[in-house]
Amino acid sequence: MHNKYRMGFTLVEIMLVVIIIGALSAMIIPRFVGRGEQAKVKIAKSDIEANIPTALKLYELDNGAFPTTEQGLSALRIRPATNPIPQDWNGPYLEKDPIDPWGRPYVYVCPGVHRPDYDLSSKGKDETSDKDDVVNWQ
């Protein structure tokens, strides 16, 4: 016995579904374009305004001073071997190396040029321009 009706989708039904998915994509995708860069800026701001400063304050509480520019932020991960050698280092103060969302180390200067304690910044997406920098002194 022959089955009069076959199971499956017709070409028209498949094309209709593809057109609907395409229309929805055309409406939704432009809303997400550029969000990745915004997320990276927010991560850098969070690191510069909260995460790294918290580790630096803990380091200062234990050792009486912030790491020097020469010791850098690596002093938060590994006990410095250069002067002034911290006597009460109780780290690591950070779980991972302080790398900005663009894959470069954060810039740390102590004592700071813009602030009396330290300057902390990221060069942002464009390493050559100051307009996209994320800094702790503004």
SS3 107: strand
Pick the CATH number of 37-135 from 3.30.700.10, 3.20.20.220, 3.40.630.10, 3.30.465.10: 3.30.700.10
- Below-70 pLDDT ranges, the chain: 1-6, 30-34, 129
For the chain, what percent of residues have pLDDT higher than 90?
Answer: 54
Query: Among positive and negative, which fits the CA dihedral 119, 48, 92, 90?
Result: positive
Residue 120 main-chain phi, psi, to 5 deg: -135, 130
At 5 the pLDDT is: 64
Query: What integer pLDDT is reported at residue 85 of this predicted model?
Result: 92
Other beta carbons within 10 angstroms of residue 128's beta carbon come to 6
